[in-house]
């Protein structure tokens, strides 16, 4: 596909809104394996592979519904689109959208939830296992001919650690955090959900924030990005870590201070980094993590933890359900 608009055939029944115009701003953020089905009600469908910020208003002019994964829709856009009635987000996070402005205008905003209950925990453990067993380093050694030159059947260039008996600190106790905890128990790890930073009295599910920082062998992020969670792991926290943990983030860039993260790696305060998300995506040239990508204890993947074929199809099926429900006057998964 290219960036020109694609029109699809209309569906069937017109509902309470009559025939609606639906514009999908960033189709390329959904993998090519996904069957991007359309709602059954009467509509015109237009989709674009990508949409630049200065193209949003023009492309949404006359639209009743916007479908946008990561293309921002802010107050100025909303004020310029008097016909807009709904925004459907094919993701859980909604920080790219001005929720307050939507509420003021009565625009329904729906997101998708729970679709990544398997894919993100599995990706998280792929990172943990690869780093605990130094798979990246050993693979590169074989490519470089080190095994071929070895005088015995194996060699020990990198550390290898079991997971059983280790402590996993989890930041975020939702569906994804719970899924990670289940896998952790299967590997014989002891999972602890960190209390929210600076908050006490959350109940027996939680372990104090500082205790999790101090005692964990692996720390993994599964929290939303909000003012209260931005850079919640930074120099102070790295200085408290007693067990040189792995730091894993398959949630949101910005939860961990990336400059402080690299400083901690250089200082030997942590054992490794497994990140699927960064503060800017794709990363800007000055992102500190780009300077350590060639190290055997660093793995950065391009925001793909969520993107198994199965998860993406579940996600899209939810999008269509939300469109159908909105047309019937029964909006679902509302965030506004």
Return the active site residues: 252, 281, 303
Residue 25 structure tokens:
């701003």
d(CA 281, CA 304): 12
Residue 13 structure tokens:
């029944």
d(CA 170, CA 218): 9
What is the full DSSP assignment across 85-129?
A: -EEE-SSS--TTB-HHHHHHHT-EEE---STTTTHHHHHHHHHHH
DSSP helix/strand/coil, 274? strand
Q: Parallel, antiparallel, or unpaired: how do β-strands 86-88 and 190-194 relate?
A: unpaired
Q: Comparing C-alpha atoms, which of 239, 230, 226, 294 is closest to residue 258?
A: 230
Tokens 């950065």 appear where? Answer: 300
Angle 181-185-189 from CA coordinates, rounded to 5° = 100
d(CA 192, CA 212): 7
**Dihedral angle computed from the Cα positions of residues 201, 206, 209 and 215, in that order, rounded to the nearest 10 degrees:** 140
Distance between alpha carbon 184 and the CA centroid of its chain, in Å?
A: 20
């Amino acid at each position: 596909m290219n960036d020109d608009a694609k029109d699809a055939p209309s569906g069937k029944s017109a509902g309470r809104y009559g025939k609606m115009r639906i514009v999908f701003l960033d189709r390329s953020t959904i993998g090519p394996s996904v069957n991007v089905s359309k709602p059954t009600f009467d509509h015109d469908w237009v989709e674009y592979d990508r949409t630049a910020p200065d193209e949003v208003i023009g492309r949404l002019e006359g639209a009743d519904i916007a479908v946008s994964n990561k293309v921002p829709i802010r107050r100025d856009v909303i004020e310029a689109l008097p016909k807009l009635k709904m925004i459907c987000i094919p993701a859980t996070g909604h920080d790219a959208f001005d929720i307050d402005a939507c509420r003021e205008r009565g625009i329904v905003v729906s997101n998708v939830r729970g679709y990544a209950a398997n894919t993100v925990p599995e990706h998280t453990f792929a990172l943990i296992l690869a780093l605990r067993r130094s798979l990246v380093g050993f693979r590169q050694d074989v490519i470089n001919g080190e095994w071929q030159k070895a005088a015995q059947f194996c060699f020990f260039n990198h550390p290898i650690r079991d997971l059983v008996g280790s402590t996993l600190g989890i930041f975020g106790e939702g569906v994804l955090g719970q899924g990670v905890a289940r896998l952790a128990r299967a590997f014989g790890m002891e999972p602890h959900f960190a209390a929210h930073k600076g908050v006490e009295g959350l109940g027996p599910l939680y372990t104090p924030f500082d205790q999790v920082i101090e005692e964990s062998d692996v720390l993994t992020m599964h929290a939303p990005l909000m003012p209260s969670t931005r850079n919640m792991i930074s120099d102070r926290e790295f200085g408290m870590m007693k067990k040189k943990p792995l730091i894993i983030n398959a949630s949101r860039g910005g939860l961990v201070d990336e400059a402080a993260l690299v400083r901690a790696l250089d200082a030997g305060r942590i054992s490794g980094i497994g990140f699927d998300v960064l503060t800017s995506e794709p990363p800007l040239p000055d992102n500190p993590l780009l300077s350590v990508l060639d190290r055997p204890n660093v793995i950065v993947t391009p925001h793909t933890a969520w993107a198994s074929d199965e998860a993406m199809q579940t996600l899209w099926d939810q999008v269509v359900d939300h469109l159908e429900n909105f047309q019937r006057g029964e909006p679902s998964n509302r965030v506004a």
